[in-house]
């Protein structure tokens, strides 16, 4: 095993506590049994209908995302600190959003440049001056984390719009419990299946003041052509709410209504999985047929709540990311618990110069890119690739940011020869409504290719069940 990377199961002192019960499990597993289980897992995922798309990466919607049976485990103490850090960040991001759509104190205080916020594509003028119920803009905050040491975690990025992938967190657990029930008897694994109930409670807690009864919550999907449609229907089903498309809703008077067989029903909260631009053709893209005409008027006059709030994306922009620790200090008066990855803004001359001189050591990303595309992983790239990338960077520096290549932790993963360490990341899903809540777990993505640091499912990544266990 490579010394340079933190191995979450075996460190210098040997077997780490959270993984204690798993050593015997994998060592005593006959190869044929393993193959059988792997096939069984695949069968279960097919039956549940979980397929490829995650994080809006695109790709073949019918391909299964590879599932690795070796769990990724956190001890309760490790998790407590993570949990505090994640909730702190989710609170700060929401405080930032309610500030920049109001007086912009953080900008007046000179802590964040005005143009970075107000000229950001994701900043919606239509929402300025409007305060959503409880002042919450981002109700589901997905925070992408990597680990580089026993106590060292970094936030790679925040997702304040509509982070996807939580269905994997739930299904991975479901599959593991069906296949290895005894593992869950031997280990005190904290359950994650309360997520749907918490999500529904969160959504209901932000119903508009005009709602005077049990709120009607719906999930708005762009439809079954969308790569995350499975997740939309899965979550709607778990929460016991209607899964709707734009054409199922309409605006009349001060409210948004759902067509039902018993006539129109007033909708109070919309958990939307549609991008801002498509939400309302009368406010945003006029050619959108996915949204609900007039919805933004109803929203802004307090007739319906949209989760996440249109314009929430300004908080998770890669250029804004740099300032999140500043937000935590400014709004909460606390020291950030989770660290940001040091980031060079190529829009700044000094940063650009450094990046250009150190391309071979850095990861360079597009400011608005996602899915691991359009990026340069310096240490893995050959000379020609670096040179080609240098030209792109020089042509449009402000389109790029750079970060050091992080020594991502590894977790044992089943491979042909047995088990081997593979790099992992983590996306927990923090819920923000009347309370800030986090189920103990998240989605662990794993780079299945030996030595690869890219965990994206479109580029050879898989997923694992993520455990938080009570320690003795």
Partner 1 sequence: MILTVFHKTRYDFASPVGGILQSHRLTPAKCDGQKVIDWKVEVPGAVMGELFRDGAGDYIQTVSLRMPVTHIEVTVSGKVETTDTSGILRGHRERVAPRAYMRHTMRTEANRAIRDLVDDALRGKEDAPELDRAHLLAAAVAEALPYRPGATHAHTTAAEAMTEGAGVCQDHTQVLIACAHIANMPARYVSGYLNATDDGSPHEASHAWAEIFVAGLGWVGFDASNKCCPNEHYIRLGSGLDAEDAAPIRGLVLGGAEETLDVTVLIEAQQQ
What are the distances in angstroms from CA 39 to CA 3, 362, 414, 460?
33, 39, 13, 19
Q: Is 62 in the site for partner 1 (CB under 8 A)?
A: no
Shortest reach from residue 249's CB to partner 1, in Å: 12
Q: Does 297 bind partner 1 (CB under 8 A)?
A: yes
Contacts of 417 by beta carbon, 8 Å cutoff, 6+ apart:
none
CA distance linking residue 343 with residue 168, whole number of Å = 30
Q: Which of 343, 364, 309 is nearest to 155 (CA)?
A: 343
Residue 181 vs residues 35, 69, 151, 178: alpha-carbon distances, Å: 18, 13, 31, 6
Residue 133 in contact with partner 1, rule: CB under 8 A: no
- Distance of alpha carbon 145 from alpha carbon 3, whole angstroms: 21
Q: List the Cα angle 403/448/388 in 5-degree steps.
A: 45
For partner 1, the closer CB: 4 or 125: 125
CA torsion sign for 264, 270, 274, 278 is positive
377 binds partner 1 (CB under 8 A): no
Contact call for residue 300 and partner 1 (CB under 8 A): yes
Which of positions 63-102 make contact with partner 1 (CB under 8 A)? Answer: 101-102
Contact status: 390 vs partner 1 (CB under 8 A):
no
| Shortest CB 114 distance to partner 1, Å | 5
Residue 171 CB partners (closer than 8 Å, separation 6+)? 45, 48, 50, 234
Q: Is 127 in the site for partner 1 (CB under 8 A)?
A: yes
How many residues bind partner 1, per CB under 8 A? 31
Q: Is 129 among the residues that bind partner 1 (CB under 8 A)?
A: yes
Interface pick for partner 1 out of 165, 208, 246, 294 (rule CB under 8 A)? 294
Question: C-beta of 275: minimal distance to partner 1 in Å?
Answer: 17
Region near partner 1 per CB under 8 A, out of 211-219, 294-302, 327-335, 366-374: 294-302
114 binding partner 1? (CB under 8 A): yes
367 lines the binding site for partner 1 (CB under 8 A): no
Nearer to partner 1, 165 or 313 (CB): 313
Cβ at position 205, least distance to partner 1 in Å: 24
What residues between 150 and 179 interact with partner 1 by CB under 8 A? none
208 binds partner 1, rule: CB under 8 A: no
The distance of closest approach from Cβ of residue 278 to partner 1 in the complex, given in angstroms and rounded to an integer, is 14
Identity of the residue, 264 or 460, whose beta carbon is nearer to partner 1 in the bound complex? 264
Q: Which long-range contacts (CB under 8 A, 24 or more apart) does 237-245 make?
A: 238/170, 238/196, 239/196, 239/197, 239/199, 239/200, 239/203, 240/200, 241/200, 241/217, 241/271, 242/218, 243/218, 243/219, 244/218, 244/219, 244/220, 245/220, 245/221, 245/290
**128 touches partner 1 by CB under 8 A:** yes
Query: CB of residue 124 vs partner 1: minimum separation in angstroms?
Result: 9
Closest approach, Cβ 236 to partner 1, in A, equals 26
Q: Is there binding between residue 251 and partner 1 (CB under 8 A)? A: yes
> To the nearest whole angstrom, how small is the minimum distance from the Cβ of residue 106 to partner 1?
12
Closest CA to 426 of 413, 437, 440, 414: 440
Instruction: Tell me the window of 123-131, 132-140, 175-183, 387-395 that interacts with partner 1 (CB under 8 A).
Output: 123-131
Q: Which is nearer to partner 1, 280 or 465 (CB)?
A: 280
Q: Dihedral, CA atoms, 315, 321, 324, 325, nearest 10 degrees?
A: 180
Q: Which of residues 408-437 bind partner 1 (CB under 8 A)?
A: none
CB 409 within 8 A of CB 64: no
Q: Among 105, 186, 252, 357, indicate the residue that binds partner 1 (CB under 8 A).
A: 252
Among 10, 26, 130, 184, binds partner 1 (CB under 8 A): 130
Q: Which residues of this chain interact with partner 1, rule CB under 8 A?
A: 101-102, 104, 107, 114-115, 118-119, 121, 123, 125-130, 250-254, 281-283, 286, 293-294, 297-298, 300-301
């Amino acid at each position: 095993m490579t010394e340079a990377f933190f191995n979450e199961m075996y460190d210098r002192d040997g077997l780490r506590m959270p993984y204690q019960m798993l050593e015997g499990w994998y060592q005593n597993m006959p190869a044929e049994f393993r193959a059988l289980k792997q096939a069984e897992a695949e069968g279960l995922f097919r039956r549940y209908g979980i397929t490829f798309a995650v994080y809006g990466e695109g790709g073949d919607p019918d391909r299964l995302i590879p599932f690795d049976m070796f769990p990724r485990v956190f001890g309760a103490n490790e998790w407590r600190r993570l949990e505090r850090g994640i909730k702190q960040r989710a609170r700060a991001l929401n405080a930032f959003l309610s500030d920049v759509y109001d007086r912009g104190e953080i900008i007046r205080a000179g802590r964040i440049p005005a143009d970075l916020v107000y000229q950001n594509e994701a900043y919606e003028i239509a929402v300025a001056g409007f305060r959503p119920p409880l002042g919450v803009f981002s109700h589901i905050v997905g925070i992408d984390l990597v680990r580089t040491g026993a106590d060292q975690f970094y936030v790679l990025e925040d997702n304040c719009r509509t982070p996807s992938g939580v269905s994997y967190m739930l299904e991975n657990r479901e599959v593991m419990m069906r296949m290895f029930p005894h593992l869950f008897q031997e280990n005190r694994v904290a359950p994650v299946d309360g997520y749907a109930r918490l999500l529904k409670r969160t959504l209901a807690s932000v119903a508009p003041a005009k709602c005077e009864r049990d709120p009607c919550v719906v999930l708005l999907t762009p439809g079954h052509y969308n790569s995350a449609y499975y997740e939309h229907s899965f979550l709607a089903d778990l929460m016991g709410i209607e899964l709707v498309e734009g054409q199922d809703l309409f605006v009349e008077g001060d409210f948004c209504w759902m067509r039902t067989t018993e006539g129109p029903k007033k909708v109070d909260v919309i958990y939307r999985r549609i991008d801002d631009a498509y939400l309302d053709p009368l406010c945003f893209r006029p050619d959108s047929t996915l949204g609900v005409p007039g919805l933004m008027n109803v929203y802004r006059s307090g007739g319906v709540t949209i989760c996440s709030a249109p314009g929430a994306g300004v908080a998770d922009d890669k250029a804004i990311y740099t300032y999140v620790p500043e937000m935590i200090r400014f709004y909460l008066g606390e020291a950030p618990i989770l660290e940001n990855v040091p980031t060079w803004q190529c829009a700044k001359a000094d940063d650009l110069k450094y990046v250009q001189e150190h391309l071979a050591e850095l990861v360079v990303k597009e400011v608005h890119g996602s899915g691991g595309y359009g990026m340069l992983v310096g240490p893995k790239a050959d000379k020609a690739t670096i040179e080609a990338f240098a030209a792109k960077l020089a042509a449009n520096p402000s389109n790029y940011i750079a970060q050091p290549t992080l020594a991502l932790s590894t977790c044992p993963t089943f491979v042909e020869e047995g088990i081997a360490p593979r790099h992992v990341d983590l996306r927990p899903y923090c819920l923000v409504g009347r309370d800030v809540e986090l189920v103990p777990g998240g989605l662990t993505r794993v780079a299945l290719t030996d030595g690869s640091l890219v965990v994206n499912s479109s580029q050879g990544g898989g997923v694992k069940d993520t455990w938080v266990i009570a320690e003795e």
